[in-house]
A and B are shown apart, each in its own frame.
Chain A
Amino acid sequence: MSLKRSFARVTGDAAPRLKTSAMIASIAGDDQKTQAAPFGHALVELAKTRADIVGLTADLAKYTDLHIFAEAYPDRFYQMGMAEQLLMAASAGMAREGFTPFATTYAVFASRRAYDFICMAIAEENLPVKIVCALPGLTTGYGPSHQATDDLSIFRAMPNLTVIDPCDALDIEQAVPAIAAHPGPVYMRLLRGKVPLVLDEYDYRFELGKAALLRDGRDVLFISSGLMTMRVLEASKVLSKDSIDCAVLHVPTIKPLDTAAIIREASKPGRLVVVAENHSIIGGLGEAVAGVLMRAGVHPAFRQIALPDQFLDAGALPTLHDRYGISTGAICGQIKGWL
């Protein structure tokens, strides 16, 4: 029991405190364009033409933007209480009877608590349940109970399951109809609340199973998903001032991977390949890409920007993103160190 941390020494002139260690911390920068609740609004839009769509949650409608759907379609919304195993099994039951359930909770509770229920009740029968989860990776400073640093690893190993890690509001908005149209089960990571909008500045559309080259460059190839795509796009702009020319391949579908695009881009000579993900260094996009390249006999210089194999600290989110190397500044520092 000597594991306890020592008391912090309280000094008189402590630095101003960052007030973002709460459960819900926005990942949007102060000057970033945002869009409110893109998932909730996209689901409402889709439900207009698809009567089979229902929404279920485990006491987290407000925190997954599903409340927007619940307000628009109260009779198609099911509040299951704080019971994630029930949420998943009941969604399976809905799906068996012909409905397309969107089930929401936090990523930790779907991937950890409800795993067996998703695996056997949903995935094994290939039922069209769409599991949409907030707080993916390190998007809260609340500590390991809410930091889903292992969700991609956990869900990648589940047969039949499609795994999506969208970057921004545009990605989420376009992914919703796409995952609904897909016949099988899907796990989608969710950014909720005021969600940054960045991909509107690129010639981009979300396509299930497809990676997209957002920018080309000679020195570094970033392969990234989720909010890390946003970060590596920013880092690319910063690094260009130091004449470091970066390409960005955005991979919103983690499974099945767009192996053709990954092999094509990683085969171009002379570039450092850097996989950047908001996830543990174990079992996420980085190792998935490494496996693809090894099997294809493509061997570029390869690095990973990912969270360490640790239970992460609690604290303010910007502090933690710097500490664990996934802030824009930390990305630039790592790239310069490697080149």
Chain B
Amino acid sequence: MHAPIGHNSQLRLKAYQIRRTALKMGQVQGQGYIAQALDVADILAVAYFHAMTFRAGEPDWEGRDRFYLSIGHYAIALYAALIEAGIVPREELETYGGDDSCLPMSGMATYTPGMEITGGSLGQGLPIAIGACLALKRKRSSSFIYNLLSDGELGEGSTWEAAMSAAHWKLDNLIAIVDVNDQQADGPSSSVLSAEPLHEKWRAFGWFTQRVDGNDIDALVTAFDAARAHAAPQPRVIICDTLMGKGVPFLEAREKNHFIRVDDGEWDKAIDMLDAEFAR
């Protein structure tokens, strides 16, 4: 629809397509964690279409970078990215969340090509990544493990056990991405359990730490590049501040909630507004 201007414009287009595909899936079920999908779309666009190495037709290719989604409820967002990446056929979105679909509401490794781990029981992604990073090193692999975790997951002790372990083992093949949307089940993360100052915490745990606007493609590209290129033997984390509902103004403005209700008639309106925003 837009003439490609530059690489980052391509990524903005991808982020828009991920948002649109996620909205289409939400519309199929009449529900879904759509506000999260919209907030994380820019991160996924940069991960899949800038940073990561993979083969669309061969999701288990040994040489791929692995993307670990511990937040199972964000699956709708990752499915959209996997569809845009050509790993999951586009027709599948029609089955999202339905009986016997390979796209269940919560992401599971046994259901979906490209879904590396079974998430949903939060706080398991980073610990699993520790073992996988150690294994990749044993195999002399140059692949990275990316783990997308949420600010809510920072409440789990297992996350910090893993954070300490990653630095101990000097896991320079681990890139954690924290989606700080300041939301979890009972309310704003900042009021549920104060986790700030996040930058200082991760740095004190021994990580190469960056904090960026997670809805700014240029900033994300710079941060992902720096995370991959960083020379010191330590794990890397990109803390991303994001806005729930990003890209659809009436959802951005809606009262923040872990599970945002979108009424039947609103899905088309959301897609229209997304299109209009992107065209601007």
Query: Chain A interface (Cβ within 8 Å of chain B)?
Result: 1, 3-8, 10, 17-19, 21-23, 57-63, 67, 79-83, 85-86, 108-109, 112-113, 141-146, 313-316, 319
Contact = CB atoms under 8 A, between A and B. Distances in A.
B108 A8 contact: no
Main SS at interface, chain A: loop
A82 B156 contact: yes
By size class, the interface of chain B is 35 or more
B102 A145 contact: no
Nearest to A316: B99
Contacts, number: 132
Nearest to B122: A82
Which residue, of B28, B60, B186, has the highest number of chain A Cβ atoms within 10 A? B186
Contact of B92 (A8, A58, A83, A113): A8
A319 B99 contact: yes
B29 interface: yes
A150 to B, nearest CB: 13
A106 B228 CA distance: 38
B97 A21 contact: yes
B29 A17 contact: yes
B121 A113 contact: yes
Contacts of A112: 121
Contacts of A3: 109-110
B185 A63 contact: yes
A67 B184 CA distance: 15
Given A19-B29, A314-B104, A82 B99 contact: no
Given A83-B193, A319-B99, A22 B186 contact: no
A8 B100 CA distance: 7
Given A6-B102, A61-B186, A145-B120, 6 more contacts: A5-B110, A10-B95, A59-B186, A82-B193, A85-B157, A141-B105
Given A1-B60, A85-B157, A314 B108 contact: yes
A145 B186 contact: no
Interface string B183-194: 011100001110
Interface in B74-130: 88-89, 91-92, 94-95, 97-102, 104-106, 108-113, 118-123
Main SS at interface, chain B: loop
Given A6-B102, A22-B31, A319-B99, A82 B94 contact: no
Contacts of B95: 8, 10
Contacts of A146: 106, 120
B66 to A, nearest CB: 12
Contacts of B123: 82, 113
B152 interface: yes
Contacts of B112: 4-5
B72 interface: yes
Interface in B175-222: 184-186, 191-193
Contacts of B31: 19, 22
B184 A59 contact: yes
A83 B156 contact: yes
A21 B29 contact: yes
Contacts of A144: 108, 118
Contacts of B88: 7
10 contacts: A10-B92, A19-B30, A23-B73, A23-B106, A59-B192, A81-B193, A143-B108, A143-B120, A146-B120, A315-B100
Nearest to A66: B186
B172 interface: no
Contacts of A109: 121
B39 interface: no
A17 to B, nearest CB: 5
Contacts of B92: 7-8, 10
Nearest to A85: B157
Q: Which 10 A-B pairs have the closest CB atoms?
A: A81-B193, A145-B120, A81-B155, A314-B104, A82-B155, A315-B99, A1-B60, A83-B155, A145-B121, A59-B185
B42 interface: no
A4 B185 contact: no
B26 to A, nearest CB: 11
B167 to A, nearest CB: 21
Which residue, of A1, A22, A85, A109, has the highest number of chain B Cβ atoms within 10 A? A22
Nearest to B258: A62
B157 A82 contact: no
Nearest to A315: B99
A228 B89 CA distance: 40
Contacts of B155: 58-59, 81-83
Contact of B153 (A57, A63, A82): A82
A86 B29 CA distance: 35
Contacts of A1: 60
Contacts of B186: 57, 59-62, 67, 79
A145 B119 CA distance: 8
B106 A143 contact: yes
A142 B105 contact: yes
A112 to B, nearest CB: 7
Contacts of B111: 4-5, 314
Nearest to B157: A85
Contacts of B120: 142-143, 145-146
A77 B123 CA distance: 24
Contacts of B104: 21, 142-143, 314-315
